Amino acid sequence: MTFPLRESRCFLDHPMNRNSDTISSEIHLHVHDRQSPAITERLRTACVGIAGCGGLGTVVAEVLARAGIGKLIIVDHDVIEPSNLNRQRYTISQIGMPKVKALAENLTAACPCTNIVPVREFITAENCARIFQPCSIVAECFDSAERKAALVAGLRSALPSCIVVATSGLAGIGPGELIRTVRVSDRFYVVGDMQSDMEQSEGLFASRVGIAASMQAHVIIRIIAGVQQ
């Protein structure tokens, strides 16, 4: 199968000695044909942080990269385990790999125009400002309520201009329509049903976690586009 460019050429017809930056630019142009050029340009110049590369973070990162985000800083200290695969965007062959390394490989393969910066580090309230300093927006993608609170507090204290899009309540198999976005303040949004808890629900499923993650990414895209209220 070939994919014609606007100049009626296909990607497979490029000579091998063509500049890779030129090819990447042309691919980027074609991939985002169905997006608003103005919004695509805004996304191209944006830097977003992903705090946690699990069920939420892998989906948020993939959606943003496919939309054309210019730079993603993906951060996690953990490695991939078999129990991760029911909801996290990894493969069996990647079990045992550091999550940030595997996710960076997956994103780069699918979205080579996005600059992926993997950081293997345990995020705390004390180091989050250093890690996410270049980012205008950070997606909080943790399972732990304590780590969620620490990240939000740390970023809002040390990087007050940074927008945080967090989650609360996405466990179980409850109705997807209960997941909503709440604007807590100008620079703090929360996505979820605001009540479900993993320990008191049926567990974590890719379907519901994916809804919340996609909504997180959607809020981020709308913020960058300048339309999120």
Cβ atoms of residues 132 and 42 within 8 Å: no
- pLDDT surpassing 50 at residue 12: no
Q: Is residue 24 part of a domain?
A: no
pLDDT band at residue 62 under the 50/70/90 scheme: very high
Q: Give 24's pLDDT tier (boundaries 50, 70, 90).
A: low
**Would you say residue 11 lies in a domain?**
no
Please give the residue range of the domain that contains residue 146: 36-225
d(CA 27, CA 214): 24
Distance CA 143, CA 146 (A): 9
Q: Looking at the domain assignment, is residue 8 inside a domain?
A: no
Residue 111 has pLDDT above 60, yes or no: yes
Q: How confident is the model at residue 103 (pLDDT cuts 50, 70, 90)?
A: very high
31 lies in a domain? no
| Each residue's pLDDT tens digit, 132-158 | 999 999 999 999 999 999 999 999 999
Q: Is residue 216 left, alpha or beta, with left meaning phi > 0 and alpha meaning psi from -120 to 50?
A: alpha
Computed over every residue of the chain, the mean pLDDT equals: 89
Distance CA 93, CA 95 (A): 6
Q: What is the mean pLDDT of residues 71-93?
A: 98
Angle at 161 between CA 50 and CA 145, to 5 degrees: 45
How much of the chain, in percent, has pLDDT values that exceed 90? 80
Examine residue 19 and state whether it is found in any structural domain, yes or no: no
**Helix (H, G, I), strand (E, B), or coil: what is residue 132?**
coil
Question: The domain spanning residue 168 has which CATH number?
Answer: 3.40.50.720
Please check whether residue 2 lies inside any domain of the structure. Answer: no
* pTM as predicted: 0.88
The total number of structural domains that make up the chain: 1
CA 154-102-84 angle, 5° bins? 75
Q: 17 lies in a domain?
A: no
161 vs 183: CA distance, rounded Å: 16
pLDDT greater than 80 at residue 11: no
Q: Show the tokens assigned to 91.
A: 């493969």
Q: Does 191 fall in a domain?
A: yes
Q: Kindly provide the residue ranges of all beta strands, DSSP E only, lying in the chain, ordered along the sequence.
A: 47-51, 71-75, 115-119, 137-140, 163-167, 180-185, 188-192
> Per-residue confidence at 27, pLDDT binned at 50, 70, 90?
confident
**For residue range 166-176, what is the model confidence (pLDDT) as tens digits?**
999 999 999 99
